[in-house]
Amino acid sequence: MSQIRLDKFISERTEYTRSQIKELAGQGKITADGGVCRKTDVKIDSETADVCVCGERIRNDIFRYILMNKPEGYVSSTDDSDGISVLELVPPQMKAKGLFPAGRLDKDSVGALLVTNDGGLAHRILSPKNHIPKIYIVKLAESFKSKYVDLFWRGIVLGDGEQCLPARVKSIGNCENMAFVELHEGKYHQVKRMFAAVGNHVEKLMRISVGGLVLPEKLGLGDCMELLHKDVENLFQPLDFDRFCDNFFSDFSAIPINK
């Protein structure tokens, strides 16, 4: 049994402030285990209590794990000084205190982005020692060249002299200017800079997987889905790059960025 004050329980799991919670309690709009609570300092069991605010049940778990299909024009940041934050796309029923994007996608890039308030998980994902692989689809300005495969695998040297880790790249069927890319690191604008280093230009970029977590086709641009525990664990189960690429279009009916 884990005892916690009612106001702390609610504030940790919602965007309500302590003062708002106290006001709502005074109005009789908060219940715990079926009874109206007009005082917010009462202790409840955080694991089993059935708490409702304004008729909406408050979940017992603190952490949220949200997979977003990020659209263009949003910044992967909690600060909207550079544009509209991706957090604006999180539906009200999924919101919780402390949400942030665990990783980044450029403002003009789209695809899989994890949003969470679990700092421990984010650290595991972003830690360089873990090298969580990410797979992208890119649309290039010029045709894909077979020499890219070896150049990427040897480790691209970027325009500023920075060395990249070995990466995988694979052409897409009959689409001469489309490719899959797998990275194990996340340098600034890395995919774009890697192709620039070999004399090409990325026109569009979509991230389709993080670790073993694959962006579902049914998740539209700007949409979010909450992940189950087993889905979160998939982050640490890398995909077989070649097999994934070969089977991708049997699972996805169209090339998402071939427009």
| Per-position b or e across 60-97, b if 16+ CB within 10 A of its CB | beeebbbbbbbeeebbbbeeeeeeebbbebbeeebbbe
Instruction: Give me the half-sphere count of Cα atoms (radius 13 Å) on the Cβ side of residue 223.
Output: 8
Tell which phi-psi region holds residue 162, choosing left (phi > 0), alpha (psi between -120 and 50) or beta.
beta
* 106 has catalytic annotation: yes
- Residue 92 corresponds to which tokens in the numbers above? 């009200």
What's the rounded Cα separation, in Å, for the pair 238 and 185? 14
Q: Are 81 and 214 in contact (CB under 8 A)?
A: no
Q: Are strands 110-116 and 100-101 parallel, antiparallel or unpaired?
A: antiparallel
Q: Are 151 and 198 in contact (CB under 8 A)?
A: yes
What's the rounded Cα separation, in Å, for the pair 133 and 167? 9
Q: Helix, strand or coil for residue 217? A: coil
From the list 41, 82, 106, 160, the catalytic residue is: 106
> Annotated catalytic sites, by residue?
106
